[in-house]
Amino acid sequence: MWGRPAQPGDWVSATTKISTGLLDDLTGGGLPAGSRGVVTDRSGRWLTVEFDNGPGTTTARVKDSHCHIARRGGGRDRFHDRTRRMSIVRLALAAFLLWPFAQFFALYLWYNRTLDGIMPALALATLESVGDFAAQIVTEPVRTLLYLGFLAVLGRLAFRR
């Protein structure tokens, strides 16, 4: 209410869940409150906003009362640069978290030359990795804590709202 309403180029943050498709209301999908976006057009009390949805952006038409201005005049290009950087951070986090599984599948295929029995082997390897992680904490606590801290920082950067 105070100050000017959101204009094209302003960065906004959603205050409610935003529906992006026809089935979002039925399935409970959509963008959660706190999702960031950039205003691309304004028509009366309606805004056209490009929201960061994780792997890229999605466009939604929302009431201006459902958005809070996060940064005036931030610009569309700078928002897309930020979205690209966040996508890279998310991919890096996914790579660090999925690397043990990729390594397991590659070694399993190398030694067994088939995918037969991979699910029980994966379950057993998961249980064994818990013990290995406990041993890693005891034998190399600094290195393990640095790695966990690194993953925590990447996760915080990648998924903050």
Walk me through the domains of the chain, giving residue ranges and CATH numbers: 10-71 (2.30.30), 85-159 (no CATH)
| φ/ψ (deg, to 5) at 17 | -65, 135
Share of the chain above pLDDT 70, in %: 98
| Helix runs in the chain, H state only | 24-27, 76-112, 118-139, 141-159
Task: Return the DSSP state at 66.
Answer: G
Tokens of 28: 């409970």
pLDDT in tens, 65-106: 999 998 998 899 999 999 898 888 888 888 988 999 999 999
User: Is the model's pLDDT at 1 over the cut of 60?
Assistant: no
